[in-house]
């Protein structure tokens, strides 16, 4: 299914919403954004499958509908789940992409940002391999910062938030271990881009 979204011109970094410095693992879990949608939000998530275990391919299998629900007891609790994210950053900094940024990935669920509901419609989702509340690796921040810089150059992104900020009654990721101030400083972003709860006072 092709998106009806008006897309930016292709650049050396992007082709049809696919980032050239990511490994491409296309997911079937996506759809078109509503016509005329402005991509204005980046949402940061954290994920590990099973929770707290790193280094396997279970997340990739989940996003591509290939996860064996019988492979671990935890998987039975999410059996049948069909989700995706645009990007996934592994513990060693490897970047993978599952859905074109021009299309709507299924990462946010029931959500709202600044009074605007259905964040999947207008956001780009980035999953970090990790456990909510725990710390993330320096190389993950490096990859995240490079990716966000490229997204900010190619899309009219005006805000970056965590899943916990757009779905506070349901989600707690990426959690207290995520260093928002480090990312803000690395990208040189003014406070208006970040959740108010994490912006520095000076």
32: closest CA among 122, 108, 117? 122
Long-range contacts of residues 80-83, Cβ cutoff 8 Å, at least 24 apart: 82/29, 82/106, 83/29, 83/107
How far is the C-alpha of 99 from the C-alpha of 31, rounded, in Å?
A: 9
Residue 129 catalytic?
no
The CA distance from 131 to 129, in Å, is 7
Query: Of 58, 127, 132, 164, which residue is the catalytic one?
Result: 127
**How many CA within 13 A on the CB side of residue 145?**
17
Positions marked active-site: 127
């Amino acid at each position: 299914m092709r998106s009806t979204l008006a897309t930016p011109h292709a650049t050396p970094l992007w082709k049809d919403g696919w980032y050239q410095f990511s490994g491409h693992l296309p997911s079937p879990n996506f759809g078109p954004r509503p016509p005329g949608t402005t991509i204005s939000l980046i949402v940061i998530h954290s994920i590990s499958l099973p929770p707290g275990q790193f280094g396997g391919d279970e997340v990739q299998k989940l996003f591509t509908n290939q996860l064996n629900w019988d492979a671990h007891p935890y998987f039975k609790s999410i059996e049948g789940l069909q989700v995706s994210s645009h990007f996934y950053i592994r513990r060693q900094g490897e970047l993978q992409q599952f859905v074109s940024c021009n299309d709507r990935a299924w990462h946010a669920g029931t959500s709202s940002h600044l009074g605007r509901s259905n964040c999947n419609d207008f956001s780009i989702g980035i999953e970090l391999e990790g456990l909510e509340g725990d710390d993330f690796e320096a190389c993950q921040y490096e990859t995240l910062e490079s990716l966000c810089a490229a997204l900010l150059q190619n899309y009219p992104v005006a805000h970056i938030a965590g899943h916990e900020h757009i779905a506070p009654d349901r989600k707690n990721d990426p959690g207290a271990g995520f260093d928002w101030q480090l990312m803000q400083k690395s990208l040189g972003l003014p406070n208006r881009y970040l959740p108010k709860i994490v912006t520095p006072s000076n």
